[in-house]
Structure formats: C-alpha cells, structure tokens
Structure 1
Amino acid sequence: MRVFAQLFEAIDSSTKTSRKVAAMVDYFDRVSDEEKLFAVALLIGNKPKRPVATTSLREWASALAGIPSWLFEESYYAVGDLGETLTLLMPQQSRPEETPTLKAVFATMTALRKYSPMEQRETLYTFWTTLRGTALFLFNKMLTGSLRVGVSRKLVINALARHLDRDEATVAHQLMGKWDPLTTRFTDLFPQQGTALPHHIPYPFYLAYALDREPADLGDINNWLLEKKLDGIRGQLIRRNGELFIWSRGEDLLTDKFPEFGPLTTLLPDGTVIDGEIIPWKDGHPLPFARMQTRIGRKNLSAKMLQEVPLVMVCFDLLEYEGRDIRHEPLLIRRAQLAALIDNPALQRILLRSEEMAFPDWQAAADFRERARQFHCEGLMLKQWQSAYGVGRRKGDWWKWKADPFSIDAVMIYAQSGHGRRANLYTDYTFAVWDGDTLVPFAKAYSGLTDTEIKSLDRWIKQNTVEKFGPVRRVKPVHVFEIGFEGVQASNRHKSGVALRFPRMLRWRLDKTAAEANTKDDLLDLLRLYGQ
C-alpha cells in the first residue's frame, strides 16, 4: 500500500494529464500483477462499499483520540470530510508503522461487514495505530466510502495500454463489466492477445458530446442521422452462447430487472449485441422516466406493475452481428443490418428501431429541437452516417443537441460544505421559491458556478449565517440564482410539492432581489404542463 500511496501523491500533486499517466505507467511497471489489479479497481472507482456505520466510526475515533464527541463533531464540521477528519485526529503512535497490501485492505473492508461491533472496533484500532500519513488517509477514505483518485477512467486506460503495449480500445473493452478484485486475477482481466473475453462482457459505450457549434457548421444535413434523444437507461442487449444479458451504461447487469426481455433469448440469434435506450412505453409513445424509476427500485415486480409500466428498448445501433464485431463498419451499414435483424413482429413488441428524423435543413431541425418536449423527447442526436462506433466520449461524429433546460429563479436559503478539494468551501446549496410570504425549499444544487464565484459566495455565507444545523448553515435569504433543470415531477419530499430532474445553477442573478424570485405556483404551472 505504501507504493500506491506514493502514486496517489504523484497524481494529487499535478494537474497535467501527461504527468498523471506517466506516474501510473511507472507504478504498473514496478508492482506485482496482484497489486496492479487492486490499484486499477481503486483508480476506476471499483471500491468496497462502506463496511461500518459512520456513527460507530465517530465514537471509536473519539475514544482513540481521547477527545469528547462534541469536539470530534466540531472538527468534522470544520474539515467537511469524515475520512480526512479521522486521519487528522489520530494520535501519534509509538507502534512501528505497517503498510498492508492493497489486497489485505480490500479483504478487511469486505470482512468488516460480517464482524461484530467489538471485532470491527479492534480491527480498526489495529489499522489506525499502525498506518501513517497518506496510507492512513487512503485507508480512512476507503473506510468511509469516499475515496476518489484524481484520474478519469480514460487516463487509466491510457496508462494500462502503454504498460501492456495494447491499443486503448482493447483495454477499454477488457475493463468492461463488474468484477471483484478479490476473485479476479490480473491475467483474467487482461488475457493474452487473441484470447476471447467472457461471453457476457459488453462493449465500451460510445458517448456523444453536447453540440458546441452551430449545426450548419456540420455540413450537409443529409450526411447525418438525426434521432430523438430519449430519456431512459442507455443499455446494451447481448445474446451469446444461448444466454441473454442486459448491461447499463454504468456497467450494471440489469437482466433480472427487465423480465419482458426474456423472450429475446429465443427470438434473437446468437452473436448479437444491440445498443439502445430502455424506456417505459405504452399506447405508442414513451411514458415519463419517473414511472420507470418506480420499477427499477423494486425487488419484486408485480403483474400489475409490468402491465402499467411496460418497457421496450429503442434500438439505435448494432455492434455485433452473427458473432462478428462490426463496430468498425459505417453507421449506415450497421443501421441497415439492425433493421433487417429486428424486422420481426414478435421482436417489435420489445425492440423498436429508433426513428430516423427527416428534415429539409438545419433550421427545420432547430425548430423541432425547440419543441422537443411536445414529442416526448429531450432534443436530437446527430450521428455521421459514415461513422464507426467508437470508445468513450469523442468529438466529431456524434453529438447530442438537447432542448434548452427549464429554468426558474430561486433564493438560496441553506449551504453545506463540499467534498474532496472543496471540503473547506460551502458549495452545496438549497434553494427555495415563494409560497405567499414564506420561502419553501424545492431543490439542491452544487454545480454551475465558477471557482471565483464559489469563493466569493463562501465568504458571504460565513459572514451571513443565521443558524447552524450540524454541517448545514441557514443563511440570510438574499441571493437569487437561476436554476436549470430537465424535468419536474410531483414529490412529497419537498414543501413545494415538486422535485426537479438534474437541477444545476445556470447563473448567479446579482441583478435580482429575493423578492423577485419565482413562486411555488410557477413550479406547479410547469408541473401541470410538463410534469411526470
């Protein structure tokens, strides 16, 4: 673990991607395959779940540090991160430092979940009194489930590709799917060149950037496939070796969540992989995504639920056909093969081909985009007919062109510290609208401001706190923010009676007073018009 701690320090000390990649390559070149495996898991976020209740961690750490619980809580509120607080409060130990392997730490995290409280405490005391510095910090961050290393998955793939002397697309594919480092070997994950991967593994998803230019700059509209951008779960449907697998873009295996897809085990030929959007669909059009969420969260699906919220996959790409990887072929060819494959009445009850939107020019497409919500979609997807199916997020061939978000002006009433590098700044805010003369909360947001705005607002919050509730501060209701969001739905969790989908701050309205913010009735009007 000492060498991984050194890697973490090297990554954390630089903002240059080239240095981060070089540090990872150097690390992979120096350590054993076993250590590499666990390091890769941590680097891509495949970390153990939090094994111990945070209340127990606070109690035991306070006792070991010899401080009262109130002082620990005050320290936590000042630091803003439990893992970092645990590290800072650990007393200097006379016991010799020990640095366990990453495998030992992973195994401990897994075993702790099964231990009695007394066994958990004694195990943690051993680690807390023998680890030092960055190793102790990393252990505590894993313990609290908040470890994040400052590299993207793409950078990890880049480093592994250099270390293994393989192309990035191959490494990205080999990393797909959920895998447990405690039951997987490095050579299982990255077998010799030419070795077939397990048949249930999906392909890396190809992702689109938001359109950052005028659509007319893309050239002739006839060179592009335009599809509705639907709101569902992006997924890959795999039929191989007589089995069916459904993977989400988040690499969760969701086959059991979608029983209506079961017939595809016999209806689809072996060697088929389809990319598409899984959405609730009834009476010829999509249902609100919120209806789908009610299904996903249930362990047992009743016949009534299956009937009320049936699901389909809207298919927009074919990645594997008759056992052949066809991602390198032009989209035009892949779409033709997809159409031929699902041209079957039995399949069309479950698999729908995405509609190819026909517009005479980009202005007509722009007009549709502005009215997209009237057509049960979020906007348009733009894809070059000649494009291959890439890996990850790339610019050029695929774009998402979403409708402008809804927006509403709201008053900030609460603030809370952020996490990681922002743990010492107030960056998480609660917003309210007027209900008569009362401000009622309706949304939380933490993204959308510049670093300069965050620092300015942080200073103001610390000087204008009215009341404290643990880590939360109630502030004077002065500042107005324009809040953007993708959808609105009824909710009993907020006093306003509504909840927003993907709320974020569009801008700080220094030109407005709190009295000019929107009202609860404005939100309810949006709910009646566009609600889910």
Structure 2
Amino acid sequence: MRRFADLLDALAFSAARNAKLRLLAEYFRTTPDPDRGWALAALTGALSFREAKPALIRELVSSRVDAELFKLSYDFVGDLAETAALIWPTQGLANASPDLDEIVTGLRSEGRARIAGKIVEWLDRLDATGRWALLKLITGSLRVGVSARLAKTALADAFGKPLDDVEEVWHSLTPPYAELFSWLADPDAPRPDTGAQPVFRPVMLAHPLEAGELEKLDPQQFRAEWKWDGIRVQLVSVGGQKRLYSRTGDDIGGAFPDVLEAMDFEGVLDGELLVGQGGIVAPFNDLQQRLNRKSVSAALVRTYPAFVRLYDVLMLGGEDCRPLSFDERRALLKATVPFDVSPLIPFASWEELAEQRAAPPSSAIEGVMLKRADSPYLAGRPKGPWFKWKRDPFVADCVLMYAQRGHGKRSSFYSDFTFGAWNGETLVPVGKAYFGFTDAELVELDKFVRANTVNRFGPVREVTPKLVLEVAFDSIARSKRHKSGVAMRFPRISRIRWDKPAAEADRVENLEALIEGAVA
C-alpha cells in the first residue's frame, strides 16, 4: 500500500502529462503482481466495492472524532478522503502496513459488518498519506489527473508495446491482469487471446476543425456526414453474444435491450446511440432518461425508444474491415447491415457545405463530420483523416445563484457554479458549470462567493444574485425535471460579465426561443 500511496501522492502533485506517464510507467515496471494489477484497475475505474460507501467512511470517522469537528473540517477541506485521513487519530501501531492486495481482496470478499472493522484496522496501521490513498481507493474517487487512456498509454510505454495492441486485448481481461502483465513483461509470452469473445475495439476519433484549416483541405478528397447529438457506441455481435459499448468501452447494453435485440449481424459496428421514432431524433435529454442504468422497464423503453445510426464498420463476418478505405467500408455497411446508416451530405465546395451546416435538417444535429474517402479505420485520434466541424455554441447571460467547492486541487475553491435565468421576477436555475474559466478567474469567482454568501446549505453557498456569467452550451431542450423547464447540454462559463447588471440577464423565454429556433 505504501508504494500505491506514494504513486497517488506524486500523481496528484504532477501537472504535466509526461511526468504522470513516467511515474506510472516506473510503477508498472517495478511493482510486483498482483499489486500493480490492482493499481491499474483502480486507475482505470475497473474496481468498485459494493459494501464500502462514503457514508460508511463518514460513520467510522464520526465514531473516532467529534462529529461536529469532522463536519466543519469536511466543509473546509471539501474532500472526504483528505479530511478523514488527516483527522483520523494516529494509533502508532507497530503492525506492518497492509499491502494493496490484502486491502482489495478484503474489500471484495467481506460483508459490510466485517468491512467496517477491516477499514478501521487498516486506517490504524497506515500513516496520513496511506489513509488518504486507502480512502480514495474505497470511494473510487482518485482524482489524480489520470484517465483510463493515460494509464493504458503508460502501460504500453513501460513495456515497449503499441498502445493499440494493449487496447485490443484490454476488454477481454479482468483485474488484476496477471495474463496482461505476463505478456507485456515477457517477450516470449503469448498475447492474450480474445478468441470469439464480444470484446470492445478502440474507436477512431476526429480532430476539431481549427481556424484556417478548412482552406488547406481538398473538398474532393473528403466525405461529409451529420454529427448527431447522441453518444458514440460500438455494437459487437459475435457467436450469438451481443454487447453495446460506449466509446470508452463501458458495457451499456443493460439499459438498451431494444438495441441488443435488433443486432442481427455478425461483426463490430460504429454508430451513434439516439432516441426517437420513425427516423425522427429526440433531444439528448430524452436519451439521458435511459443512460447510466443497469436495466430499464418496458414502459421506459416504450416512452424513449432507442436506435443506433451507423457510421462505420470494423469487423464483418469474421473479416477485419479496418484497413479498407472509408468509401469501401461505407459501401459494405450499406449493402450488408440492416440498420439505419447516417446519410452523407452532398457538396461540391466548402462554401456549399458551410451553408448546409448553418441550416441542418434536425435540431439533433450538432455539426458536420469530415472524413477522407481513402482513410482506413485507425484507433485513437490520428491527425488528418477525420475532422469534426461543430456548429457555433449557443450563448446566454445567466446569474450566479449557488456555488460549491470543487475536488482535488480545487477543494479549497468554490468552483462548481449553479446559474439561473429570470422567470418573471424570480431567478430559476437553468444549469451548472465547473469549467471554462481560467485559474485567475477562479480566484476572483471564489472571492466573490465568499464575500457575497447569504445562505448555507451544507457545502453549498447561496450568493447575492448580482454576478452575470456568459454561459456557452451546445444545445438546449425542454425538461420536466428542471424547475425552469429547460436543460442545457455541456454548459461552460465563457465570460464573466462584471459589467452587466443582473436585471439585464436572459429570461427563461429567451432560452425557450432558442429551442423553438433550433426545431424550426
């Protein structure tokens, strides 16, 4: 556990990507099995402990220290693991620090009653850094600036393997990945066999189109298709086994049995998961009703029917189609797969395409994709073959209403902001954002919150409604779940309007007009 704690601590204080890669690679090379496998699982989000919840941590800490002191400390620090690790009374026990395997095995095998005792024992045997790492592991909220992709990249770097090869076998393996590390560390070890398993393949991603870049591209070499406002998915059907994966490889099929049932093919397809009927795509907010669920009711399936609009094909009938050109793959897709295929946009010049992009046929379109006709399907985000040309974001002036402290490096700052629009004489919340501003602007926002707090609701601060924030967002839809009746997609703070009076901020009817305009 000592080495894992030191790794998390170093990662938390390393801002540079290359520095994080070096730390991770060194850990994977020098740490024995199975600890390095458990660490990899924790960093990639592959570990969860059903019986160990944040509520249990709060309960255990309150049993050792004054509950009010803990509450005030947690409110100030803003991070449960850090607060608990610092406030936990040091016992000075001589017992050896537990290793990571002991902790993970205990958390996975014990019931809630015994886990509570185990956690207390481990906390007593660890120092403050070890306690912090233990609690981060338990809560699953590492927040050390490492994505699953970065961890896999470091793993590939550590052993000199191509990242695509690691990605290709990743989803057929389970923690603590003994077979994976054996293959990586031993040149003579066989590559893990995915066999006929319905495993996820790394997806191909596009680069945002930058200013001046379009003029350098030949329109005759590219194909254009609409960028639909759903979530990117991969459909895998092998030997009667069917899976629906998100773009990051999470199995989301349990929430979409209707999509799984319709998968009448043998292969691996790439597309956009949408909700709607008769080819009409519903707002993203409707799709959200079915996301992040392990299962869904028949009524929910009827109310929000899902389907996939296909973009590409990776495998078909046991053949790898990825080396083929985009044109060849698309022709194969349309000829052999009985699914909805995203239509191409005919155009002769960039000017003509720009006109169509400005007036899309559906409010569920968030831009245009450009794909080279001769491009193979390459994992990752290669520069050149594919571009995304998103439409300009919507913008609204909203009033700051509530603020909450962030996590990790932002735990000392109020950085999560809820903002509202006017409904008559009343402000109603219309969204929440925690990015878009600079570090310097964060300091100013934090100062404003502290100086203008008028009420407290646990960790949330209500502020005087006088600061206007210019909020950018990708789309907006009606929502029965929100008091305002609208819901923004990907809101972010694009500007702080210190100069604008709150009374001049946007009204809910302004936002509703944006919905009507998008539909029209």
Taking structure 1 as the reference length, what is the TM-score of the superposition?
A: 0.89
SS at match of 1:378: strand
Residue 185, structure 1, aligned to residue 181, structure 2: no
SS at match of 2:228: coil
Partners of 1:210 and 1:399 within 8 A in 2: yes
Letter matched to residue 123 of structure 2 = W
Q: 1:239 to 1:481 in 2, by over 3 A?
A: same
Q: Which runs of 5+ in 2 are unaligned?
A: none
CA distance in 1, matches of 2:42, 2:58: 24
Return the match for 1:197 from 194, 198, 209: 194
SS at match of 2:220: helix
**Equivalent residue pairs, number:** 514
CA distance in 2, matches of 1:146, 1:45: 9
Q: 1:44 to 1:55 in 2, by over 3 A?
A: closer
Q: 1:444 to 1:126 in 2, by over 3 A?
A: same
Letter matched to residue 29 of structure 1 = R
Q: 1:54 to 1:170 in 2, by over 3 A?
A: closer
Which residue number corresponds to residue 96 of structure 1?
94
Q: Output one character per residue of 1:36-80: Cα deviation in whole Å (capped at 9) or x when no partner.
A: 211211222323246445444223213313x2x122111101001
**1:421 CA displacement:** 0.6
Between 129-138 and 411-420, report the one with greater CA deviation: 129-138
CA distance in 1, matches of 2:41, 2:274: 31
Q: 1:324 to 1:400 in 2, by over 3 A?
A: same
Which residue number corresponds to residue 145 of structure 1?
140
Which residue number corresponds to residue 15 of structure 1?
15
SS at match of 1:139: helix
Residue 84, structure 1, aligned to residue 82, structure 2: yes
**1:208 CA displacement:** 1.8
Residue 484, structure 1, aligned to residue 472, structure 2: yes
Partners of 1:76 and 1:82 within 8 A in 2: yes
Which residue number corresponds to residue 354 of structure 1?
342
Which residue number corresponds to residue 449 of structure 1?
437
CA distance in 2, matches of 1:188, 1:10: 23
Q: Which runs of 5+ in 1 are unaligned?
A: none
Residue 510, structure 1, aligned to residue 504, structure 2: no
Q: 1:164 to 1:514 in 2, by over 3 A?
A: same
Q: 1:62 to 1:258 in 2, by over 3 A?
A: closer
Which residue number corresponds to residue 162 of structure 2?
167
Letter matched to residue 338 of structure 1 = L
**Equivalence map 1:59-138=2 (5 Å):** 59-65=59-65, 67=66, 69-96=67-94, 98-111=96-109, 114-116=111-113, 119-138=114-133
CA distance in 1, matches of 2:147, 2:368: 27
SS at match of 1:158: helix
Q: 1:413 to 1:187 in 2, by over 3 A?
A: closer
**Equivalence map 1:452-531=2 (5 Å):** 452-530=440-518
CA distance in 2, matches of 1:256, 1:491: 24
Q: 1:53 to 1:259 in 2, by over 3 A?
A: closer
Residue 299, structure 1, aligned to residue 295, structure 2: yes
Partners of 2:52 and 2:112 within 8 A in 1: no
SS at match of 2:270: strand
Which residue number corresponds to residue 277 of structure 2?
282
Partners of 1:82 and 1:144 within 8 A in 2: no
Q: 1:453 to 1:402 in 2, by over 3 A?
A: same
**1:528 CA displacement:** 4.3
Q: Output one character per residue of 1:70-99: Cα deviation in whole Å (capped at 9) or x when no partner.
A: 221111010011111001101222212532
**1:125 CA displacement:** 1.5
Alpha-carbon RMSD: 2.6
**Equivalence map 1:197-236=2 (5 Å):** 197-198=194-195, 199-236=197-234
Q: Output one character per residue of 1:499-526: Cα deviation in whole Å (capped at 9) or x when no partner.
A: 2222211211223111110112223333
Which residue number corresponds to residue 36 of structure 1?
36
Q: 1:216 to 1:37 in 2, by over 3 A?
A: same
CA distance in 2, matches of 1:97, 1:442: 53
Q: 1:49 to 1:480 in 2, by over 3 A?
A: farther
Partners of 1:215 and 1:362 within 8 A in 2: no
Letter matched to residue 24 of structure 2 = M
Between 83-92 and 290-299, report the one with greater CA deviation: 290-299
CA distance in 2, matches of 1:465, 1:492: 29
Letter matched to residue 83 of structure 1 = A
Taking structure 2 as the reference length, what is the TM-score of the superposition?
A: 0.91
Return the match for 1:237 from 235, 238, 247: 235
Q: Output one character per residue of 1:255-295: Cα deviation in whole Å (capped at 9) or x when no partner.
A: 34434445656x42x4x211111222422332223333334
Partners of 1:279 and 1:312 within 8 A in 2: yes
